[in-house]
Amino acid sequence: MPQKSKIEVTEKVKITREYVSGKISREEAARRAKVAPASIARWARIYRQEGALGLAPTKKNRVYSSELKKKAVLEYLAGGCG
């Protein structure tokens, strides 16, 4: 389960934008945000796919239907997940 971010979302977006635009390196972004460089790479991927809103914290957990859960379990048991 994701942990609550220790950095404000506005700062996260600012750092991510600077990294994505090439103004700072991944290591510099990680140093500024006090996170691992892998986190910066993940933020950049989310930012490219979903924009700044993708970096905002979610308010609730995702809810999956019983039908979807059953389908996933059956697929897994049939060897469909790798």
Over residues 30-66, the pLDDT tens digits come to: 999 999 999 999 999 999 999 998 898 876 666 788 8
Mean of the pLDDT values across residues 64-79? Answer: 86
SS3 of the chain: helix, strand, coil, percent, to 5: 60, 0, 40
Residue 52 lies in a domain: yes
Tokens of 44: 């950049």
| 29 within some domain | yes
CB 33 within 8 A of CB 11: yes
- Higher-confidence position of 4 and 79: 79
Is residue 63 domain-resident?
A: no
Question: 81 lies in a domain?
Answer: no
Q: Total structural domains in the chain?
A: 1
pLDDT tens across 16-32, in order? Answer: 999 999 999 999 999 99
pLDDT of residue 65: 85
Range of the domain at 17: 1-56
Does 64 reside within a domain?
no
